[in-house]
């Protein structure tokens, strides 16, 4: 992998763009440049449990999602609407961005009560998701799924519950589609579920919102970036993660390990492009994680 961070710093963005020979490399250059050119880190947060497990990337045929991580298990059950129709499990990048907004606001304000309305629309827009047309419909669908689902986190070998069967929020996130596809009114506030909020408050994971914006609607890259943000700065020595272990954590949707490896490496490269401090290595055996500075400068030291 070309070190585009060094190339941009030493020779400038135009030289780096000229060096990129594929669509993927051009995406790496632009993501790296976006993060490097930001004068101040913008702090966001997520629950650290999402560094070890995650939502699905695509819609499920089943109504239950069970995901194992290192000493943690996430169980999500899709909720139902007032007619009893199953709404499904939240999935993909839109669900992740909605939850990242809610969690970041909760940690910043030290409150379960989150103001929505214009602030949520502006934040999602800053993440590259302009709320209109198809994007609005996708965000609205994921908001309904998040509002209705039940979740439980289990931790440790004995699978002790760290978050009982509850939800992400109490009540619902609603959007009023008054003028065609353009939202004109969002529910003013929403409450994070008390247990979810307590777990988040106890173990918040700081993230760089500029990096998230550079990643955009790429759910696997979001998951890898969160994982690296959690693991790398806490290491005291190198750790090798095998391909089968990586496939178990990140490989939902990939039946064959060979297919997963190629897709994962591209996603990993983009995650590293927005995390310049990350030190990793890729080999036939797997991925080596090396002690690195955190993705938010103010956390260093």
pLDDT at res. 161: 59
Q: In the structure, what pLDDT confidence band is assigned to residue 185 with cuts at 50, 70 and 90?
A: very low
Q: Which residues pair with 97 in a beta bridge?
A: none
Domain layout of the chain by residue ranges? 1-37, 46-204
- Determine the Cα–Cα distance for residues 204 and 162; give it in Å rounded to an integer: 14
Q: In the structure, what pLDDT confidence band is assigned to residue 175 with cuts at 50, 70 and 90?
A: low
- Determine the Cα–Cα distance for residues 227 and 204; give it in Å rounded to an integer: 13
pLDDT in tens, 247-278: 989 988 788 898 899 999 999 999 999 999 99
Q: In whole angstroms, what separates CA 126 from the centre of its chain?
A: 15
Buried b or exposed e, range 87-126, using 16+ CB within 10 angstroms? bbbbbbbbbbbbbbbbbbbbbeeeebebebeeebbebbee
H-run or E-run covering 162: strand 160-166
The answer, yes or no, to whether residue 152 has pLDDT greater than 60, is yes
Give the number of other CB atoms < 10 A from CB of residue 212. Answer: 25
pLDDT at res. 157: 59
Q: Do strands 113-115 and 150-155 pair parallel, antiparallel, or not at all (unpaired)? A: unpaired
The answer, yes or no, to whether residue 177 has pLDDT greater than 70, is no
Average pLDDT over residues 133-155: 86
The answer, yes or no, to whether residue 2 has pLDDT greater than 60, is yes
Return all residues near 71 (Cβ < 8 A) that are at least 6 apart. Answer: 52, 155, 156, 157
């Amino acid at each position: 992998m070309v070190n585009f961070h060094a190339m941009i710093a030493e020779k400038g963005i135009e030289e780096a763009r000229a060096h990129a020979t594929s669509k993927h490399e051009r995406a790496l250059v632009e993501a790296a440049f976006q993060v490097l050119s930001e004068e101040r880190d913008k702090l966001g947060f997520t629950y650290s449990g999402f560094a070890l497990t995650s939502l699905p990337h695509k819609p499920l045929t089943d109504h239950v999602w069970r995901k194992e991580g290192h000493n943690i298990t996430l169980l999500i059950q899709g909720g139902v609407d007032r007619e009893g129709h199953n709404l499904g499990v939240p999935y993909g990048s839109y669900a992740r961005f909605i939850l990242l907004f809610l969690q970041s606001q909760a940690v910043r304000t030290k409150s379960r009560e989150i103001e929505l309305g214009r602030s949520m629309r502006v934040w999602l827009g800053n993440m590259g998701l302009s709320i209109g047309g198809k994007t609005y419909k996708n965000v609205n669908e994921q908001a309904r799924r998040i509002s209705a689902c039940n979740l439980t986190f289990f931790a440790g070998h004995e699978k002790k519950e760290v978050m009982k069967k509850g939800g992400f929020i109490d009540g619902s996130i609603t959007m009023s589609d008054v003028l065609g596809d353009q939202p004109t009114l969002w529910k003013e506030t929403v409450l994070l579920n008390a247990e979810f909020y307590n777990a988040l408050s106890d173990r918040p994971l700081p993230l760089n919102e500029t990096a998230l914006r550079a990643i955009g609607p790429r759910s696997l890259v979001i998951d890898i970036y969160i994982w690296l943000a959690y693991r790398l700065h806490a290491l005291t020595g190198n750790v090798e993660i095998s391909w089968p272990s990586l496939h178990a954590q990140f490989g939902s949707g990939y039946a064959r390990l060979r297919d997963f490896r190629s897709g994962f490496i591209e996603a990993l490269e983009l995650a590293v492009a927005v995390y310049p401090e990350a030190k990793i290595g890729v080999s036939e055996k797997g991925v080596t994680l090396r002690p690195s500075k955190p993705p938010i400068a103010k956390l260093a030291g």
